[in-house]
Amino acid sequence: MIPEREIRRLFSADDLQRIRASVDAAEGRTAGEIVPYVVGASDVYESAVWKGATLGALLAALIAALVQTFGEFWDLAPLLWIALPTAPASARSPRA
């Protein structure tokens, strides 16, 4: 948890009053208790990295497919479009 002096640095007195008022209003509409909590950083969500990478790869494949289909100036075989992105990585990999 962040120390009180750090919270005062992050939030003005007006901000803290609005937080208190919002919490009081929300607690008036529910049986629960709301406890605002300030932390230094949130957790790392590893699944978000994988989802972002997957979405990026799918988007890149879609763009490449559209360019390959409608861009007549790139007349390469479809198999080459699949292998081409891996060529720089394989050229740098050490040989056994």
Report the pLDDT value the prediction gives residue 46, as an integer from 0 to 100: 84
Predicted confidence at residue 1, as pLDDT, reads: 65
34 and 23 Cβ atoms separated by less than 8 Å? yes
Residue 36 neighbours by CB under 8 Å, 6+ apart: 19, 23
Percent residues over pLDDT 90 in the chain: 29
pTM over 0.75: no
pLDDT tens, residue by residue, 15-50: 999 999 999 999 999 999 999 988 877 878 888 888
Burial of 23 (0-12, 13-18, 19+ CB in 10 A): middle
Q: How many helices (H) and strands (E) does the chain have?
A: 5, 0
Domain coordinates of the chain in residue numbers? 1-41, 46-86
Torsion of CA 8, 11, 13, 19, to 10 degrees: -120
Q: What average pLDDT does range 67-81 have in this prediction?
A: 67
